[in-house]
Chains A and B, each alone.
Chain A
Amino acid sequence: MAETRQFCTFYLDELLFGVDLRSVQEVIRVQHLMRVPLAPKAVTGLINLRGQIVTAMDLRQRLKLKAQDAAALPANVVVRSGDGPISLSVDRIGDVVEAEENNFEYPPETVPVSLRKVIVGVYKLDRQLMHVLDIDRACQIGDVAEAGMDAQ
């Protein structure tokens, strides 16, 4: 029986991403997001998660995808990063996927650079590619100059 791992999946602009289920704290719909003036663009604000203040990030900004209409508050995946929980806003939540280890591959050349920086690799699923998110790299704000330029 092949080794498998479970992933929580979500969509960003029709790209499928997966995060190891063990690194996911919960999935929420954000009630109140407090904007942080002068914060880097990728940081959308702070939320109150049962008494804990959690930083909310917009992966679209991080991945330099085109900005989405802020019509409805998107779904958020709260992941456990190296320095505590981070709430990642995503387009929509997918299913829990069980992927086989031998379908794992390092990111192929076809994957754009901005995406390659934040993923560990990809899994070949039935009909699509699941990009495995590197949580710590995705939650980094890049170098100071970049952050400065991004400041709202």
Chain B
Amino acid sequence: MDDTDIIREFLIESTENLARLDHEIVKLEQTPKDAQLLDGIFRTIHTIKGTGGMLCFSAVEGIAHVAETLLSQLRSGERQFTSELASLILTSVDAIKAELTSIEATGKETGDSHEGLRARLKLAAESSKDPASPPPRIDNEKPRARVQAAEPRPTAQTASLEDSTIRVDVVLLDRLMNLVGELVLARNQILQFNTNSEGSALHASSQHLDLITTELQEGVMKTRMQPIGVVWNKLPRVVRDLAASSGKSIRLVMDGNDTELDKTIIEAIRDPLTHMVRNCCDHGIETPAVRARAGKPEQGTISLRAYHEGGQVNIEISDDGAGIDAQRLKEKAKQKGVLRTDYADHMSDREMLDLIFLPGFSTAEKVTNISGRGVGMDVVKTNIEKIGGTVDLTSRPGEGTLFKIKIPLTLAIIPGLVVMSGGERFVIPQVSLLELIGLEGDSGRKQIESVDGTPVYRRRGKLLPLVYLNRVLRLSDTTEQPDSVSIVVLQAEHRQFGLVVDGISDTQEIVVKPLGKQLKGLSCYAGACIMGDGKVALILDVLGMAQRANVIHEAGAHHRAAKAQESVAAGAQRQPFLLFAGPDESRMAVPLSRVARLEELRASQIENAGAQWVAQYRGQILPLINLETALDERRRQRRHLRTDVTDPSSSGLFLVVVCNHEGHQVGLVVEKILDIVEDLAEPKYPASRTGVQCSAVISGKVTELLDIPAVLRVAKVRFSGPNTPAAAPVEVTH
């Protein structure tokens, strides 16, 4: 090994060790009594001093030397670990890092003598020691002996590490990955021949090849995996520094440090993650004073979580800070002219929050040099999407914000579904695939409806917008109407849509190859691959497709949903409801504003006028509706047989809710009045039967909202006589 190799080794090792130091020093600040932690930090600095000196890097050696003195004082208990000390050691680490960078780039140190830093370090080392510390030992050998005794331990420990791990150049691993990719291609080709020769020796051998290739593929991919802790390690320091400089108190909680990701993904998310944590510190967590006023603990918490789920890595960054005000974002966007007013009025909360990802967007009142310059979040989103991931954001003003990042585990070799459209073959990544729907013949075609000009398919009660692949890609339309329609249900971010294709083939493992820069701008493709027959096929980018075809429809769908909501009892406002028990003890309600009066009628007051019950009421004929018959189909059919007025309530009286309807009054016969409550009554489920508007949650329980006009239609109620003036609504007194 010549000089350059030794220096390179030194640089690699030291950079790795220093990266850990950031995290460890912050941890030590929180748990200063942790002797093992302190030992580890000391050893790292000691090693850097030693090797640095041997290689004649005097600046590195010098700084490390004084830092080491301080650390050994800490170890022997002569000095207490204070925040000032922590900051000083962190500054030394930074200085050493700067020198290492210079050595890597130019082979020499910066030439900076680091006078100021060294002086401060010296001062700290010589300053009066903590009075509570043990008196200086008479026998000077002891402290040094303690330090030397520590030496054998590191080698013993690192020796065992050396035995079980080996350092490999990333370039070599990339080559191995490529070779495995080629092997997968070759295996696919052989498997193609395989289908024609069942039972032969070739078949058996190719099956064997298949197994080995799969295992090899998995193994090589594992070699490139690194724990996410590698990126997270420096974040405690970032948070500490930001908190200190802004006068806030913030703690960082990390869960899932050893969640493993491919190295390329780690590199790609390093900056976005840092930026988001910075944002939490800068914009999310409030000052202790503001937090105290809001009844929150003075110390804010930022939580990082990483875990594997469903073939993807999930990374969550959340804070318990001020949250993001969606309305304010919307206003800012309108101000900047980025948003059309009519579009803005129909936006969901989620869409408003997504505005934060627009380029050049920042609602920060004050641009600091940390963040808020408005160049951050859009770059974050682009970088994450570049590696095939998604980023999602939820927030509650006053409570906090949560960023959720999902990244596919493997980049290069993925399972894909082969589809046909316009005579061409395309591949869809299986990870985005939810379901396959085949519609046959005429009846199948009829199931495709059109809402607002968009083709949709009703999938389990929900409308699924459809995208015709041949139209998006402007392929030649198949001349005759195909007999069957194939819909591939896909998920992109939180949107689901159906991709209509001409035909569906099989699922294959494909090697994703990136497209050249001439084609990279086409958002609907994620790459290309070579199929088993040697031909090239394009891989569709599900998110890109969705964006190309669907973005406008999101607002449209919400517009429709909003309209539907409005027609249900004053939408999102609280109003009083009359709760009663309908047939079969079902919990039902009508808006109190529709109720004129509650009455108890004796059976003798009720008469039969033709097929309808009526009562003489305040000089008018009041049609009565027995909800049992109005809402229950089966019983309705037997109604014409009923001649007697039967089924009185247990007290011999009929409970009637007299309602106003278009200038007339009608009485609803109910089993029991339950309560009068005020509630939002947001519709939760669509109506399950005629006569019911929808089901909503009122007072914590699912309640059916009665649809009075529908009930009247079903009961075929006829009103006679002039309109009775609607009685004043019942006044609710509390």
- Taking Cβ atoms with an 8 Å cutoff, the residues of A that contact B are 32, 34-40, 42-43, 45-48, 51-55, 57, 83-84, 86, 139-141, 144, 147, 152
Task: Name the contact of A40 in the complex, choosing from B422, B518, B524, B537 (C-beta under 8 A).
Answer: B518
* Given A34-B535, A37-B424, residue A51 in contact with residue B182 (CB < 8 A): yes
* Given A34-B538, A36-B538, A39-B522, residue A51 in contact with residue B424 (CB < 8 A): no
Chain B positions 495-529 with a Cβ under 8 Å from a chain A Cβ: 513, 515-519, 521-522, 524-525, 528-529
* Bound CA–CA A44/B529 (angstroms): 17
B213 to chain A, nearest CB (A): 15
A-B pairs with lowest CB-CB distance, top 5: A37-B473, A55-B516, A34-B536, A53-B513, A46-B536
CB contacts (< 8 Å) of B473 on chain A: these are 37-38
The answer to the question of B530 belonging to the interface, with a C-beta cut-off of 8 Å to chain A, is: yes
CB contacts (< 8 Å) of A139 on chain B: these are 518
CB contacts (< 8 Å) of A35 on chain B: these are 424
Can you name 13 A-B pairs with beta carbons within 8 Å?
A: A32-B534, A32-B535, A36-B522, A37-B473, A37-B475, A43-B518, A47-B536, A51-B182, A54-B516, A55-B518, A57-B518, A83-B517, A139-B518
Taking a contact as CB atoms under 8 Å apart, the answer to whether A84 and B516 are in contact is yes
Taking a contact as CB atoms under 8 Å apart, the answer to whether B182 and A46 are in contact is no
CB contacts (< 8 Å) of A52 on chain B: these are 513
* Given A46-B528, A51-B182, A51-B530, residue A32 in contact with residue B518 (CB < 8 A): no
CB contacts (< 8 Å) of B537 on chain A: these are 34
* Bound CA–CA A101/B439 (angstroms): 68
Chain B positions 455-478 with a Cβ under 8 Å from a chain A Cβ: 473-475
The answer to the question of B66 belonging to the interface, with a C-beta cut-off of 8 Å to chain A, is: no
Interface centre among A32, A36, A83 (most CB of B within 10 A): A36
B421 to chain A, nearest CB (A): 9
Taking a contact as CB atoms under 8 Å apart, the answer to whether A48 and B517 are in contact is no
The answer to the question of B185 belonging to the interface, with a C-beta cut-off of 8 Å to chain A, is: yes
CB-nearest residue of chain B relative to A52?
B513
* Given A55-B518, A86-B516, A141-B518, residue A48 in contact with residue B535 (CB < 8 A): yes
Chain B at the A interface: mostly helix, strand, loop or mixed? loop
* Bound CA–CA A90/B262 (angstroms): 41
Chain B positions 392-433 with a Cβ under 8 Å from a chain A Cβ: 422, 424
* Given A57-B518, A141-B518, residue A38 in contact with residue B185 (CB < 8 A): no
* Given A37-B474, A37-B475, A51-B530, residue A43 in contact with residue B519 (CB < 8 A): yes
A119 to chain B, nearest CB (A): 19
* Bound CA–CA A139/B516 (angstroms): 10
CB contacts (< 8 Å) of A147 on chain B: these are 521
* Bound CA–CA A36/B516 (angstroms): 12
* Bound CA–CA A53/B519 (angstroms): 12
B703 to chain A, nearest CB (A): 51
CB-nearest residue of chain B relative to A50?
B182
Taking a contact as CB atoms under 8 Å apart, the answer to whether A48 and B530 are in contact is yes
A39 to chain B, nearest CB (A): 6
B473 to chain A, nearest CB (A): 4
CB contacts (< 8 Å) of A54 on chain B: these are 516
Q: Beyond A32-B534, A32-B535, A46-B528: 4 further Cβ-contacts under 8 Å?
A: A32-B536, A46-B515, A140-B518, A144-B521
The bracket for how many chain B residues form the interface is 20 to 34
B472 to chain A, nearest CB (A): 8
Interface centre among B519, B524, B534 (most CB of A within 10 A): B519
* Bound CA–CA A70/B534 (angstroms): 23
* Bound CA–CA A47/B530 (angstroms): 9
* Bound CA–CA A39/B515 (angstroms): 12
Taking a contact as CB atoms under 8 Å apart, the answer to whether B515 and A55 are in contact is yes
CB-nearest residue of chain B relative to A47?
B536
Taking a contact as CB atoms under 8 Å apart, the answer to whether A53 and B538 are in contact is no
CB contacts (< 8 Å) of B529 on chain A: these are 53
CB contacts (< 8 Å) of A43 on chain B: these are 518-519
* Given A37-B473, A38-B473, residue A48 in contact with residue B518 (CB < 8 A): no
Taking a contact as CB atoms under 8 Å apart, the answer to whether A38 and B474 are in contact is yes
Taking a contact as CB atoms under 8 Å apart, the answer to whether A83 and B474 are in contact is no
CB-nearest residue of chain B relative to A34?
B536
Taking a contact as CB atoms under 8 Å apart, the answer to whether A36 and B519 are in contact is yes
CB contacts (< 8 Å) of B536 on chain A: these are 32, 34, 45-48, 53
CB contacts (< 8 Å) of A53 on chain B: these are 513, 515, 528-530, 536
CB-nearest residue of chain A relative to B529?
A53
* Bound CA–CA A147/B535 (angstroms): 26
Taking a contact as CB atoms under 8 Å apart, the answer to whether B474 and A55 are in contact is no
Taking a contact as CB atoms under 8 Å apart, the answer to whether A39 and B519 are in contact is yes
Interface centre among B422, B474, B516 (most CB of A within 10 A): B516
CB contacts (< 8 Å) of A140 on chain B: these are 518
* Bound CA–CA A82/B535 (angstroms): 25
Taking a contact as CB atoms under 8 Å apart, the answer to whether B474 and A152 are in contact is yes
CB-nearest residue of chain B relative to A85?
B516
* Bound CA–CA A141/B528 (angstroms): 19
CB contacts (< 8 Å) of A51 on chain B: these are 182, 185, 530
Taking a contact as CB atoms under 8 Å apart, the answer to whether A38 and B516 are in contact is no
* Bound CA–CA A78/B556 (angstroms): 48
CB contacts (< 8 Å) of A38 on chain B: these are 473-474, 522, 524
CB contacts (< 8 Å) of A36 on chain B: these are 519, 522, 525, 538
CB-nearest residue of chain A relative to B182?
A51
A145 to chain B, nearest CB (A): 12
* Bound CA–CA A139/B529 (angstroms): 22
CB-nearest residue of chain A relative to B425?
A34
* Bound CA–CA A34/B473 (angstroms): 14
CB contacts (< 8 Å) of B534 on chain A: these are 32, 48
* Bound CA–CA A54/B525 (angstroms): 15
* Bound CA–CA A57/B518 (angstroms): 9
CB contacts (< 8 Å) of B522 on chain A: these are 36, 38-39
CB-nearest residue of chain A relative to B528?
A53
CB-nearest residue of chain B relative to A37?
B473
Taking a contact as CB atoms under 8 Å apart, the answer to whether A55 and B424 are in contact is no
Interface centre among B473, B529, B536 (most CB of A within 10 A): B536
CB contacts (< 8 Å) of B513 on chain A: these are 52-53
* Bound CA–CA A54/B536 (angstroms): 10
CB contacts (< 8 Å) of A48 on chain B: these are 530, 534-536
B27 to chain A, nearest CB (A): 44
CB contacts (< 8 Å) of A55 on chain B: these are 515-516, 518-519
CB contacts (< 8 Å) of A34 on chain B: these are 424, 528, 535-538
Chain B positions 518-577 with a Cβ under 8 Å from a chain A Cβ: 518-519, 521-522, 524-525, 528-530, 534-538
* Bound CA–CA A48/B182 (angstroms): 13
A109 to chain B, nearest CB (A): 30
CB-nearest residue of chain A relative to B475?
A37
* Bound CA–CA A65/B309 (angstroms): 54
CB-nearest residue of chain B relative to A144?
B521
* Bound CA–CA A34/B522 (angstroms): 16
* Bound CA–CA A140/B517 (angstroms): 8
* Bound CA–CA A39/B534 (angstroms): 22
